[in-house]
Chain A
Amino acid sequence: MNDVNEELKVRETTTQSDPGAASIAEDVQVTPRPPVLEVKDLTTYYPINRGLAGRLLGHEAKTVHAVDGVSLRVDAGEFVALVGESGCGKTSTVMTILGATKATSGSVRVKGEEIVGRTPREMLSVYRHLQMIYQDPYGSLDPRFRVSDTVEEPLLVHGVGATKQERRSLVLAALESAGLSPADLYIDRFPHELSGGQRQRVAIATALILEPSLLLADEPVSMLDVSVRASVLNLLDELRRTRDMAIVMVTHDLSTAGHFADRIVVMYLGRIVEEGPAKEVLANPQHPYTKALISVVPKPDPRDRSTPQTLSGETPNPVDIPAGCRFHPRCPIAREECAKSDPRLRLSVKVRIESHRVACHLA
């Protein structure tokens, strides 16, 4: 199985660095640069709070398997969208990559350097190149800081910009490019004086001001209307093209993922169940979970009402992971084998497109 993976990676890399010229003969060219991000068999388990009563009664300590064996590789200039149901472990995945949540096992390499097990102090040099946009701009902006202070902070921490004046002009430029225009109208405000989408753009400006090589973004545009959303995403697109920024973006917006991401990675209960080229995954989903997700995307035309495939069955519970395929209790096409053996992520037998992989016995 490893051989197949290795081979795939080589191909992906080649395609990346030289799109359009990826023929079989060129498969042997290996890019010497390590990927910007390489995650291997990552797991993140949280101990569950049993409560005092539970502890006294001696209930067994349980764990939440939030991330349960995720491997991911992101190259320079690549844009990966991470999608999946609420609670499937998307935030846990990016927070573990960031080092803000402790990995239970596995490896995370940023530009070739292992960062699992590092102390916050040791992480500081990594954060010069790795920035995060948190899921919730209401919780993540410090209410006592003015916009100017928040956006300037990374400059101060990493010693960028010699004078106050220089830093202020960097801050203004970052705000403008994140779509807060005219920036001087917002720069001296406190978070509570901003609308939701305006806060989100402050968070975006803060993360981009150092032009990181790797951006982890957890629903960064969720509060932005289509128009502002498009301009922020066009900005990210430009940064990856011109500055080789690698992006991992958690999003619930599949249309946006399809338009801007190179690859879509679909998670279910702590695992990757499907991944592949973005448009390919949307147009030709192989995993029954991905198919269901796509069917519930609302359409702008009120007359265009297809019947969504909302999933039946229990909301997945990452404490008691079902045996076999973890999706089988809700799967509309499950067979006997699905309850017994856990399908691994592999090339789909049906599509045979390089790098479109799926974890389903029937795909």
Chain B
Amino acid sequence: MISVPLFSVRDLHVWFELPDGRELHAVNGVSFDLHAGEVLGLVGESGCGKTTTILATMGLLPSSADVAGEIRINGEEILHGGEASVRPHRWRDIAMVFQGAMNCFSPVRTVGSQIVEPMKLHGIAKGAEARRRAGELLEMVGIPAASADRFPHEFSGGMRQRAAIAMALACEPKILLADEPTTGLDVMVQAQILELLASLADTLGLAVVLVTHDLPVVAEACSRAAVMYAGRIAELGSVDDLYHDSHHPYTRLLFAATPDLLGDDRVVSIPGSPPRLDREIVGCPFRERCDSAVAECATEEPALHLVGSSHVAACHLNDLIENVRQ
């Protein structure tokens, strides 16, 4: 029996309308599945469309955005019905830690009272019970329960970030979309948060999409990961395959640009910048920065092909190798 994935995204597209009327194609045909208890990494360069992808699945994009595709929770499609079909699921089934979450608290109310709010709103708990739970949630992310009575500005940046994670977990969601949840957190707290996410996935079957630009974090915390480039998925596979058996030059160069803690070599960036998303892209979007491009790369966009068991990549080189084999 093939189980229905808990969360599934198919051929997702997002266009932003720019002030001058042109369109920016921020997400371009993204698909992935997520099962209960799984932690999927979403990685890629700044501006490649990670945040836009997950905001789209939460129905939280601004009105300047056009969205197409399919998003299913437990098989139920939630994109086409608009706000009315997402709302019952938002925060209850699918919750999100926003990028820059340390900035998401209102300055005039205590952190605890803000964590209690979604619980009240969704009828999970109220009064003393809700406050007790808020304290528990804070402890879970390593903040003393007593700090619930303090104001956001009395927290350090990292403490606010952790409190935002606690808030996202308040309604016991089945799916957590965490956008750079450990960005700017020191390695010790980062290790604790990643451990926490792993244990929630293990024990409660929480499914997590972990958005990050940090490959070592993905290697540490995720079983599979999708590497995005210019709004598309360039490669998706187990973290082991991505590191040891990558089938996309971009993934390879990303790992190569990750500095070693004790390495002596100069840290090299991938030369060039990603293509403009407000213009049509001909050929492979990575072509201009690729170290292995062939003639085809300039004319035809490579499609995602299976390159191993549950490992896909979009690069012409894979087809060439396949042809040689045949």
Contact = CB atoms under 8 A, between A and B. Distances in A.
Interface of A: 46, 48-49, 51, 64, 83-88, 91, 135-139, 179, 181-182, 185, 188, 192-193, 195-198, 200-201, 219, 222-231, 233-234, 252, 254-256, 258-260, 279, 282-283, 292-294, 296-303, 308, 310-311, 314-315, 317
B88 interface: no
Contact of B46 (A87, A135, A198, A254): A198
Between A83, A86, A308, the greatest number of chain B beta carbons within 10 A of the residue's beta carbon is seen for A86
A92 to B, nearest CB: 8
B261 A198 contact: no
Interface of B: 16, 19, 43-47, 50-52, 62, 99-100, 102-103, 142-144, 149-151, 154-159, 161-162, 180, 183-192, 194-195, 213-217, 219-220, 239-240, 243-244, 253-255, 257-264, 266-270, 273, 276, 278
A91 B157 contact: yes
Contacts of B215: 226, 300
Given A192-B62, A223-B183, A299-B261, 11 more contacts: A46-B154, A86-B157, A139-B102, A193-B16, A195-B51, A196-B99, A200-B46, A225-B45, A226-B257, A226-B259, A303-B244
A297 B216 contact: yes
Contacts of B44: 225
A213 to B, nearest CB: 25
A230 B256 CA distance: 12
A225 B187 CA distance: 17
A298 B213 contact: no
A311 B278 CA distance: 48
A84 B219 contact: no
Given A197-B213, A259-B267, A302-B240, A223 B180 contact: yes
A86 B51 contact: no
B113 to A, nearest CB: 12
A226 B217 CA distance: 12
The 8 tightest CB contacts between A and B, nearest first, are: A197-B46, A86-B158, A138-B100, A225-B213, A298-B216, A230-B269, A222-B184, A298-B220
Contact of A231 (B52, B151, B240, B269): B269
A86 B192 CA distance: 12
Contact of B19 (A188, A195, A234, A310): A188
A196 B191 contact: no
Contacts of B270: 227
A297 B259 contact: no
Contact of A182 (B155, B219, B267, B276): B276
A231 B272 CA distance: 10
23 contacts: A48-B154, A86-B156, A86-B162, A86-B185, A136-B103, A138-B100, A138-B102, A181-B273, A195-B46, A196-B180, A219-B184, A225-B43, A227-B254, A231-B269, A234-B267, A254-B261, A255-B263, A297-B216, A298-B217, A300-B255, A301-B219, A315-B143, A317-B144
A299 B257 CA distance: 13
Contacts of A182: 273, 276
A228 B289 CA distance: 13
A200 B183 CA distance: 12
Contact of A293 (B51, B100, B158, B187): B187
A220 to B, nearest CB: 10
A298 B103 CA distance: 26
A87 B158 contact: yes
B269 A252 contact: no
Between B52, B183, B188, B244, the greatest number of chain A beta carbons within 10 A of the residue's beta carbon is seen for B188
Contacts of A292: 188
Contacts of A308: 191
A136 B161 CA distance: 11
A49 B103 contact: no
